Amino acid sequence: MSETWIVGINPVEGALANDPERVREVLTEQGSKNARVGEIADAARKLKIPVKPVAREQLEKLGGEVRHQGVIARYDVPPLRGENDLPDLLEAAGANALVLVLDGVTDPHNLGACLRSAAAANVTAVVVPKDRAVGITPTVRRASAGGADLVPVIAATNLARAMRMLKDAGVWITGLDGDTEQSIYGIDLKGPIALVMGSEGDGMRRLTRDTCDFVARIPMPGSMESLNVSVATGIVLFEALRQRGGK
């Protein structure tokens, strides 16, 4: 089991709320006047988690490039799940299964934002390729605003195989690509489905696209040809929720 530092107010709050048994200690800035830092310290003490005031310089050193906002936490990182965990997750979700597949999202801010949208949409699981994506880094955690602790993340050693597992479980797969005339608003997104988003630069890989049941695009009547992957993810997830009656 590896350790990392969770950096910033929202990520630390999320870890304490959703995964407190993995938080080993909380470090706060000495003399901080931020009320939320004080609330975090109080919450940690109630959970019997050690709280240690330290100098700002120590927080900056441990937090690296991520802005610490006066608080960081030492955290035991759980191992990412593998594709063999998918069947149980899908069985538990039943007809409400909603899976997000990210084919090579490498920017940590984008991955974090996708996880935040996935948590808000109550996604069953987020599937990423094990060797072609950013991990759950401190930056990802911060950008996810707690979403990284709420959504099961599946690190698939073979993404096409994981997608075939989804199909075998009765999940219909729709990939998002600008190179098609089919609108996402014309696809039936009710029942057990998976939505596939490509990487920031190249989109879906050919094998990934060929494994999809449908390929659709987000109509853009304006002058832009594409959207940021995290923005597009939010749009398609909540279109699925709209079709499902908001459930």
Closest by Cα among 115, 131, 208, 203 to 166: 208
| String of DSSP letters for 81-116 | B-GGGHHHHHHHHGGG-EEEEEES---HHHHHHHHH
Percent helix, strand and coil across the chain, each rounded to 5?
40, 25, 35
In whole angstroms, what is the distance from residue 96 CA to residue 80 CA? 23
Strands 98-103 and 125-129: parallel
Helix 86-93, helix 159-168: angle, nearest 10:
40
For residues 211 and 170, is the Cβ–Cβ distance under 8 A? no
Name the residue with tokens 């005339």. Answer: 181
In whole angstroms, what is the distance from residue 243 CA to residue 190 CA? 6
203 is in an annotated binding site: no
Cα angle 38, 135, 24; round to 5:
35
198 is in an annotated binding site: yes
In whole angstroms, what is the distance from residue 43 CA to residue 84 CA? 36
For residues 230 and 117, is the Cβ–Cβ distance under 8 A? yes
166 is in an annotated binding site: no
Annotated binding residues for S-adenosyl-L-methionine, written as ranges, equal 198, 218, 227
Annotated binding residues, written as ranges, equal 198, 218, 227
